[in-house]
Amino acid sequence: MTRINGFIGRRDFFKLAGTGGFAIAATAFGGSLIWGKQDTAIADVNPANPNPVNSNQALKYLLDGNQRFLHQRPKYPHQSLRHLQLVAKAQYPFAAILGCADSRVPAEIVFDRGLGDLFVVRVAGNVASDMAIGSLEYATAVLGTQLIVVLGHRRCGAVAEAIKNAPLPGRIGYVVESIKPALAKVNLTIGAGDRNDDAVIANIQYQAEKLQQNSMILAQLLHAGKLKIVGACYDIDTGKVSIIT
């Protein structure tokens, strides 16, 4: 594998991602994803994952952790100084989370996990933006993560604003506009509670679909059986995570 100043060559990255003849024009990871010169490449956090956790086992780890959190019996795994020093050398997260930036939904806490366990991307409305997709491509194609969970939550403010369909200041509107297509299948005439819950679920499903539709890397990993994308909803009143089918 070609390495230049601690970086993986782009030819090796495409092999790792299972793609070929595919161009990336955007920049990501602090400007390290820039094509142009032969030696340009993306940051190499560590070599390929030597012991990847398969998607089903990864999902079980998450749901088991949520049960511990839900019943107030957390184990706080992988939070010791010794583990901190271990993962400082290399990271091999067993799951990636595309979650909402809502302060009440911290993934490591609600899944009772620790340092190096989860690759977490958080943005209001758990929107699958270009930057979020790029981050998840990195987690899967480079770090070897085989599970992505799109984690929405009940009473999501960003989804509520999309339902209101009113003008918003600054760049907040960009987030809301990225949610509105998800509302096409939602009956907006029903009661507010059911309407909001339906919209949250529709948005989780929509953003999960966007991941594979807008990313050749993720789509090919899915096709090769090396990745699973799952939708889930967090109840901010109870702490329970439910899988969305």
Q: What is the pLDDT of residues 125-164, one digit of tens each?
A: 999 999 999 999 999 999 999 999 999 999 999 999 999 9
Residue 119 confidence (pLDDT) above 90:
yes
> Which residues, in sequence order, are CB contacts of 119 under 8 Å at separation 6+?
91, 93, 95, 96, 97, 135, 136, 139, 143, 145
- How far apart are alpha carbons 139 and 37 in whole angstroms? 24
Please report the pLDDT score of residue 2 as a whole number: 40
- For residues 34 and 59, state if they share a domain: no
Residue 123 confidence (pLDDT) above 80:
yes
Q: What is the mean pLDDT of the chain?
A: 85
Cβ burial, residue 92 (10 Å; 0-12/13-18/19+): buried
Stated pTM of the model = 0.82
Q: Is 223 annotated as a binding residue?
A: no
Q: Is 233 annotated as a binding residue?
A: no
- For residues 39 and 73, state if they share a domain: no
Sorting pLDDT into bands at 50, 70 and 90, what band is 194?
Answer: confident
Give the structural domain span for 31: 1-44
The beta-carbon contacts of 55-61 under 8 Å, at least 24 apart in sequence, are 55/146, 55/147, 55/227, 55/228, 55/230, 56/228, 57/94, 58/94, 58/95, 58/145, 58/146, 58/147, 59/95, 59/147, 59/149, 59/228, 59/230, 59/243, 61/94, 61/95, 61/111, 61/113, 61/117
- For residues 230 and 212, state if they share a domain: yes
Please report the pLDDT score of residue 12 as a whole number: 55
- For residues 132 and 184, state if they share a domain: yes
- For residues 31 and 63, state if they share a domain: no
Please report the pLDDT score of residue 15 as a whole number: 54
- Closest by Cα among 244, 203, 211 to 100: 203
What would the mean pLDDT of 190-197 be, rounded to a whole number? 86
Q: Is 71 annotated as a binding residue?
A: no
What would the mean pLDDT of 196-221 be, rounded to a whole number? 97
Which has more pLDDT, 238 or 194? 238
What would the mean pLDDT of 172-185 be, rounded to a whole number? 96
- For residues 92 and 209, state if they share a domain: yes
Which has more pLDDT, 230 or 15? 230
The two structure tokens encoding residue 225: 């059986």
DSSP-assigned beta bridge partners for residue 8: 3, 42
Sorting pLDDT into bands at 50, 70 and 90, what band is 51?
Answer: confident
Cα 67 to Cα 3, 63, 74, 103, 111: the distances in Å are: 42, 6, 9, 20, 8
Q: Is 156 annotated as a binding residue?
A: yes
Find the CATH number of the domain harbouring 157. 3.40.1050.10
Q: Which of 43-52, 77-86, 119-128, 153-162 has the lowest mean pLDDT?
A: 43-52
For the ranges 45-54, 148-157, 189-198, the one whose mean pLDDT is highest: 148-157
Q: Count structural domains, the chain.
A: 2
